[in-house]
Amino acid sequence: MSDMLPLIPLTSALTDPQYFGTVFASPSYWTWVVVAKLLDGIPLTEQREIELFEQCTGRAYNRLARRAVRRLIMLIGRRGGKDRFESAVGIWRAALSQNWRKHISAGEGAVVLLIGADKQQAKILRRYCGGLLETPRLAAEVVRQTDTLIEFRNGGSLEIVANDASLVRGRSAVAILGTECSHWKTDDDSLSSDEEVVVGALPSMAMCPDCPGGLLVMGSSVYRKKGYMYRKYRELHGNNNTDEVCWFATSQTMNPLLTDEVINEALASDRVRMSAEFLNVWRDDVSDYIPIELLEACTDWGCYERPYERGLAYAAHIDIATGLGSSSAAFSIAHRDYAQGMQVQDLLREVRPPFVPEVVVKEFAELAKRYGVTTVFADQFAFGLHVGLWEGTNTGVRLAEAKYNTAENYLRLLPPLLAKKVRFLDSKVERSQLSSLERHMTSGNETIRKPQTASSRDDVATAAAGALVAAGDGTGYLGGDLYDLWAN
């Protein structure tokens, strides 16, 4: 372990008016000073500090080594102050904890990454950082700043960005700070899933000069029982045999100024959601809908496409938007094996944006024609947006609005899946999207949907479920147009 000492401990910076004391010196922020002491390796001496530690970590304080904590998971309710605290930690780590120019190689930098769940939250974090830098002493440390970057005189820099695993690779980082991490993507196929960001972050801090491995702080309110934050909660909370810490606290625990009236009003509006937001209760109404193990059991490994077979009636479903943004165009074809009672997927295509809808529609129409499909189904949105394009393909294939919406298709797909009467092609993206679907219960009504994060996608899952359900609805029908069967 290096014998270099911090220029200014975080605890001192929080309480000194020259730095963050204009905000954190208020008596209501004493809980955050306790967390700062953990990062500094400063012993807790007051009884209320020890009681807070034991309450929020589920472990005995006298079993914790007094070394500085370098891996901190914070699961804290909304309005508890975690974003403001992480912004202060980011500035402290970049500008005040070391003279980085003495320790970094030529051409490298001592980078602190403060990562928001999306671009909107990154903007909020940037405003927090801007507010904390308004004191004359801190303002004097800044040599350059943009909407996403703040550079300091000591050679350190703070970057405030949206969640993207590529940003943490190939860097010389000294700290990675993540916010609202429970709401990051958990899809296996995502290059910026929560696990991928952390896996990419740790090597970037391997050569951190003042503490091997750097500083990793991940904060969030709780959400579904899945992903990195839930896994770390289960591993660390109440575990006396680790140097890593999971700090688990309600909003009012960390922010005593938050009144009962505010909390009760929120709970009255939506008890389940607001219990997660303010009381740190993991969401039981948001659960994994299709276990990955079930999908794997229904996958024909190594089979990526099935050829057309004469005498089979095929169904096709498309999910397509504008070709811009983050939504892919996805297309799937399936049939029913009447002898085995199986719904079988035959073809799966995905075109990632940007793309030209006319080109994609023409390609998918030709694929449909190859399988003898004359009607391709789509949800109401895709049908209304692109029905004219299909009429212009001159392939004899038309677009029709599906009998069921996407959520209904997901619900109808589950019974044959549970009976293992579905056979999927081998697609990691498809398995990931289907396994990430969430089951929500609201006022007694069940709905199935993708995770409500900016980067979540279910395009492939939508097309796959739509085709399989349409094929399954053609029971006893051996040829022709499935849409005409439904109409009759």
Contact 58, 235 (CB under 8 A): no
Q: Ramachandran region of residue 404, left (φ > 0), alpha (ψ -120 to 50) or beta?
A: beta
* CATH 3.40.50.300 residue window(s) in the chain: 10-284
Secondary structure letter of residue 300 according to DSSP: -
Which CATH fold topology does 292-487 show?
Nucleotidyltransferase; domain 5 (3.30.420)
Q: Identify the CA nearest to 432 among candidates 300, 315, 295.
A: 295
| CATH code linked to domain 10-284 | 3.40.50.300
Report the predicted TM-score, pTM, of the whole model to 2 decimal places: 0.65
Q: Which residues 6+ apart lie within 8 Å of 283 measured at CB?
A: 222, 223, 224, 225, 272, 273, 276
277-286, pLDDT tens digit by residue? Answer: 888 888 766 5
Q: Which residues 6+ apart lie within 8 Å of 402 measured at CB?
A: 317, 377, 378, 379, 383, 409, 466, 470
**The pLDDT value given to residue 272:** 74
Q: Which residues 6+ apart lie within 8 Å of 425 measured at CB?
A: 299, 300, 303, 304, 305, 306, 345, 346, 347, 348
SS3 264: helix
Written as one string, the DSSP assignment of 448-459 is EE--SSTT---H
d(Cα 167, Cα 126) in Å, to the nearest integer? 17
d(Cα 408, Cα 94) in Å, to the nearest integer? 50
Helices and strands in the chain, H and E counts: 19, 17
Averaged over successive runs of 10 residues, the pLDDT of the chain (488 residues) comes to: 63 92 87 94 92 93 75 91 90 88 69 79 82 89 88 87 65 83 65 70 76 87 82 90 92 89 85 81 71 90 96 94 86 94 96 92 94 93 86 85 91 92 94 82 67 74 96 53 38
Q: Identify the CA nearest to 334 among candidates 409, 385, 396.
A: 409
Q: Ramachandran region of residue 323, left (φ > 0), alpha (ψ -120 to 50) or beta?
A: left
**The pLDDT value given to residue 475:** 35
**The pLDDT value given to residue 366:** 93
- Whether residue 354 is preceded by a cis peptide bond, meaning omega within 30 degrees of 0, is yes
* CATH 3.30.420.240 residue window(s) in the chain: 292-487
At residue 255, what are phi and psi to the nearest 5 degrees? -130, 85
Half-sphere exposure of residue 47: CA atoms within 13 angstroms, side-chain side? 0
